[in-house]
Amino acid sequence: MREKIVEAAKAIGRDPHSVALVAVSKNHSIDAVRQALSAGQRIFGENRVQEAASKFPQLRAEFPDLVLHLIGPLQTNKVKDAVALFDVIETVDRPKLAEKLAEEMQRSGRHPQCYIQVNIGNESQKAGVAPENLSALLTLSRDDYGLPIVGLMCIPPAGQDPTPYFNEMAALAKAHHLPILSQGMSGDYPAAIAAGATHVRVGTAIFGER
Ligand SMILES: *Cc1c(COP(=O)(O)O)cnc(C)c1O
């Protein structure tokens, strides 16, 4: 997968080091994660707080440079556990969550980086802030609450060409001076990289079917 990412970056003239691989280990065992760690992978993504809490504390003790991203929806009653466990929270998508995250960071002294999840296809069933509400949420969470918001994240609509959505995300990140752009999964990471992704989140193509 790393070789493929390097190829995809080179193909469009990007520095391969500018694209980070988040290995999505949800529904896969600690042993599977361990194998990836042995191969040198250090950044992992999980979509559930509880599952991550059952797998990663022991691995972290062995691999202090492990970096853990939360890529799934976060309920406010799990904020405390999420702030304690994750290094990056990719799914800030509403004012109440931003408020609770800020309170918990203040209380605990831990400050995981945050990305705002954008519902770039305006899909009713999908998490994420609507594109037209991004500016307001960013102002509230970064400037009013002081959250360390450094990027944007999206999952484009299934069954469509993702490139226009990826391009729109890149334009939003640029317009808001956010350096990080998390987009692209097993099925569409080359298009995401072509559109400027700094982080691709790949599960199935590394670990197999869930
Ligand atoms: C599961 C998941 C991924 C990885 O998807 P694959 O198709 O298995 O690569 C990426 N992002 C999010 C938010 C996910 O939930």
Res 169: pLDDT: 98
Which phi and psi angles does 132 have, rounded to 5°? -70, -15
CA of 106 to the centre of ligand 1 (A): 30
Res 115: pLDDT: 99
Any atom of ligand 1 within 6 Å of the Cβ of 128: no
Report the nearest-CA residue for atom 6 of ligand 1.
Answer: 203
User: Which residue shows structure tokens 């193909």?
Assistant: 11
The Cα 76–Cα 53 span in angstroms is 16
User: Which residue shows structure tokens 């069933």?
Assistant: 125
CA of 90 to the centre of ligand 1 (A): 12
The Cα 14–Cα 33 span in angstroms is 28
Residues 166 and 158: beta-carbon distance below 8 Å: no
Look at residues 114, 108, 35, 111 and name the one whose alpha carbon lies nearest to residue 69.
114
Res 10: pLDDT: 98
- Tell me the pTM: 0.98
Domain map of the chain by residue range? 2-207
The Cα 82–Cα 4 span in angstroms is 31
Atom of ligand 1 nearest to the CA of 189: 9
- pLDDT tens column, 102-111: 999 999 999 9
Any atom of ligand 1 within 6 Å of the Cβ of 158: no
Res 103: pLDDT: 98
The Cα 140–Cα 97 span in angstroms is 11
**For 119, left (φ over 0), alpha (ψ -120 to 50), or beta?**
beta
Atom of ligand 1 nearest to the CA of 185: 9
The Cα 116–Cα 154 span in angstroms is 9
Provide the H-helix boundaries in 12-123.
Answer: 30-38, 49-62, 79-85, 95-108
**CATH match of 2-207 with 3.20.20.10:** yes
Res 210: pLDDT: 85
Res 161: pLDDT: 98
Res 8: pLDDT: 97
CA of 132 to the centre of ligand 1 (A): 25
Atom of ligand 1 nearest to the CA of 187: 7
The residues near 118 (Cβ < 8 Å, ≥ 6 apart) are: 128, 129, 130, 131, 134, 152, 153, 154, 169, 172
Mark the ranges of the chain whose per-residue pLDDT is less than 50: none
Instruction: Report angle CA 75, 79, 83 to the nearest 5 degrees.
Output: 140
Res 13: pLDDT: 97
Which phi and psi angles does 101 have, rounded to 5°? -65, -45
